[in-house]
Chain A
């Protein structure tokens, strides 16, 4: 016999499509959780992704661009680009507003670039969580 908590976890948390929830979670970090009425978690996710992204920008970290070369360069550039893009509107707005610092040598720019990617990777964790909650696989 299933317990009340497992029955609760197996029921979809929202009538909205999990795909829509995940799309919102990508565009606005924490947005998926917000739609799923997990407001506190949504605020924390938004804050974590925002702080990481903004510190990366303030350190003048360059964005990755999806171009090829040898195998390692292609993996790094495309992997970094996907990580950047995963921040959703933060990334899109930043690029549309013309943020494009040159990829110069220096540890500060390098850490900034990695923080921007880290912000996107954190948002991917949140997107997966929102997907699972929307599917009723998690509470």
Chain B
């Protein structure tokens, strides 16, 4: 079995697991952890699309 994920799919997976982990290790209560995890994931997605579009315009 071999997975052939695209750059976008790998980025989403990375954003997801990293957000969960950052939420787990940085905050004190479960509520704060969930909130921070969702916040990190949103930042990752914004950065992913922002950098993607920036590269699209810079490369022409």
Contact = CB atoms under 8 A, between A and B. Distances in A.
Contact of A59 (B2, B14, B18, B20): B2
Interface residues of A, number: 24
Interface of chain B, main secondary structure:
helix
A126 B21 contact: yes
Among A111, A118, A126, A138, find the residue whose CB has the most chain B CB atoms closer than 10 A.
A111
Among A114, A125, A138, find the residue whose CB has the most chain B CB atoms closer than 10 A.
A125
A58 B1 CA distance: 7
Contacts, number: 54
A111 B2 CA distance: 13
B17 A48 contact: yes
A122 interface: yes
Nearest to B23: A44
Given A52-B13, A59-B2, A111 B7 contact: yes
A137 interface: no
B21 A108 contact: no
State the 3 A-B residue pairs at the shortest beta-carbon distance, nearest first. A129-B25, A58-B3, A48-B17
Interface of A: 41, 44-45, 48, 51-52, 55, 58-60, 107-108, 111-112, 114-115, 118, 122, 125-126, 128-129, 138-139
